[in-house]
Amino acid sequence: MIRLLLILLAALLIGTALSLGLTYDLGYIRISLGHYLIETNFWVGLGLFVVLVALAVFFFNTLRRFRHGPGLVTGWVARGNERRARRRTTQGLLALAEGNWPRARKLLATSADRADTPLINYLAAAQAAFESGDHEAVDQLLRKAYESTPGSSMAVGLTQAQLQLAGNRLEQALATLLRLRKESPHHPFVLKLLKNTYLRLEDWRELSRLTPELRKRSVLPEKELDELERQVWHNLLERAAEDTERQLKSDPKTSLEPLTRLWDELPGFVRRDEYTIRDYARLLARLGDEAQAETLLRKVLRNHWSDELINLYGRIKGHQPEEQLLMAEQWLKDRPNNAELLLALGRLSLRNELWGKAREYFETSLRLRRSREALAELSRLNAHMGEEQASIKLLMQSLESENGLPELPMPRA
C-alpha cells in the first residue's frame, strides 16, 4: 500500500514538472543529415529520443533471446514430449484395463522413456506382453524396467516371479524368488510366493523348512498355516513310507527307522492331531509294524477320544489281542453307546475267536447306528457261522440303504 502511494506521488511530481516545463520555451532542436534538415520543438525531440532508446533496448533484448534460442526451443519441445508421454501412458493403462493387450503394450512401452514414472510403464507393458503370450518380450521389458529406475530390483523381481508362476514356469519362478529372498530374507510377499511355488512343485521338504518362517512373520492366518503344516507332514510321511516299502521289497530286514525318525521331527501340534496320528498308524501297519501302531493308538485314546482312531484300533493286531480286547472293554464302561467302539470290539472279539461275543457287539452297534461297515462285518460272520439267510438279508439291507431304493411292492417267496 505504501509503495503504491509512493508511485502515485512520484507520478504526480513528474507530471507537475512536465506541465511546468512545457510552459517555458526551451528552444528547438535542429538536425542536418546530408540534404535533409530536421527541426522540431525541444519537447517533441525529447519524446522521439526516448522512443528511439526504448526501441534500441527492445532490439538488443530480442537479439539476446535469439542467441539463447536453441535452449528455449528444446525446453518447449521437451515439455511437449512429456505431455504426450503422459497422455499415451494414460491411454495404455486404459487399454490394459480393457484387455487390449497389443495396444496397451505399444502405448506403454513407447512412452516409457519420456514418462514421469518409466518403471510403471515397463511393468504394465510386461503384463500386457505376458497376456499376449510373448514371454521373450516380458523378459526384455522387465530388464528395461530394472534399468530405468535405481532401487527397483524387488518390485521388478516380484512382478517377474508372479508372471512366471502365472505362466507355469515354476523352476524359473523358484530361481527368481530364491534370489529375492537373499536380498530380503523376511519379505512377507516373497515368502508367500515361495510357499505357493513349493506347493505347486510338491517340494514338501523345503516347505517344512519354510513353514516356521511363515508362522514367525504371520504371512498366513493361523488356521491356514496349521492346515498347511498338516498337509506338508502328511506328504512327507507318505513319501518316507513309500521309500521304506521299496527297500523292504529288496531287503525284508530293512528298518522302519527313517519313518519313525520323521515322526519325531513333527511339530508338537501336528503330532497331537488325530488325523496325522491316524495316517502314521496306518503307515506303520501297512509296513508290517502293527504292534507299534497299536501301542501308539492306545496311548492316544487313553487321553484323547476319537471315533476315527478307535475304528483304526479295531482293525490293527497288537502283540497281545487279549489285552487289546480288555483295554477296549474298559473304554466301553465310559462310552456304552458308542457305535464305533462297539464295532471295534466286535472285530477284536473276532481276533480272539469269540464268535458269539463278536456278533453281539456288531448287532448292538447296528442298533445304535446302521453303518455299512457293521452290516458287512455281521453279514460276513453270519455266513461263516452257517446262517446264510441272515447274511443275505443283511447284505440286501446294505444295498438298499446305499442305493436309496424306494419302498415298492415285491412278490412273496
If one counts every other C-beta atom within 10 angstroms of the C-beta of residue 307, the result is: 15
DSSP conformation class of 115: S
- The answer to whether the CB of 309 falls within 8 A of the CB of 278 is yes
| Sign of the four-CA dihedral 283, 289, 290, 292 | negative
What domains are defined for the chain? 324-400 (1.25.40.10)
Kind of pairing, strands 36-41 and 28-33? antiparallel
More confident residue, 403 or 59: 59
Would you give the distance in Å from CA 299 to the centre of its chain? Answer: 40
Residue 5 dihedral angles phi and psi, to the nearest 5°:
-65, -40
Q: Any idea which of 83-87, 100-104, 143-147, 216-220 has the lowest mean pLDDT?
A: 83-87
pLDDT per residue as tens digits for the range 311-359: 999 999 988 999 999 999 999 999 999 999 999 999 999 999 999 999 9
Rounded to two decimals, what is the model's pTM?
0.71
Q: Any idea which of 51-55, 158-162, 186-190 has the lowest mean pLDDT?
A: 51-55
Query: Kindly report the CA angle at 310 between 307 and 311, in degrees rounded to 5?
Result: 85
* Closest listed residue to residue 285, CA positions, set 245, 226, 329: 245
- Percent of the chain predicted with pLDDT > 70: 77
- The answer to whether the CB of 149 falls within 8 A of the CB of 118 is yes
Q: Any idea which of 132-146, 202-216, 324-338 has the lowest mean pLDDT?
A: 132-146
* pLDDT of 72 over the 50 cut: no
Give the residues across from 29 on adjacent strands: 40
Residue by residue, DSSP assigns 360-373 as HHHHHHHHH---HH
Residue 149 dihedral angles phi and psi, to the nearest 5°:
-135, 115
What's the whole-number average pLDDT of the chain? Answer: 84
Q: What totals of helices (H) and strands (E) does the chain contain, helices first?
A: 21, 2
DSSP conformation class of 31: E
Which are the contacts of 133, defined by CB distance < 8 A and separation ≥ 6?
A: none
- The answer to whether the CB of 148 falls within 8 A of the CB of 119 is yes
pLDDT of the residue at 76: 45
* pLDDT of 73 over the 50 cut: no
Q: Which residue's entry shows cell 466301553?
A: 332
Report which secondary-structure segment, H or E, holds 39.
strand 36-41
Mean pLDDT within 383-399: 70
Q: How far apart are CA 409 and CA 402, in angstroms?
A: 19
Report which secondary-structure segment, H or E, holds 209.
helix 204-216
Query: 81 pLDDT band (50/70/90 cuts)?
Result: low
CA distances 224 to 218, 230, 276, 405, Å, are: 11, 10, 16, 41
pLDDT per residue as tens digits for the range 98-138: 999 999 989 899 888 888 888 988 999 999 999 998 888 99
Q: How far apart are CA 107 and CA 90, in angstroms?
A: 9
Mean pLDDT within 289-306: 94
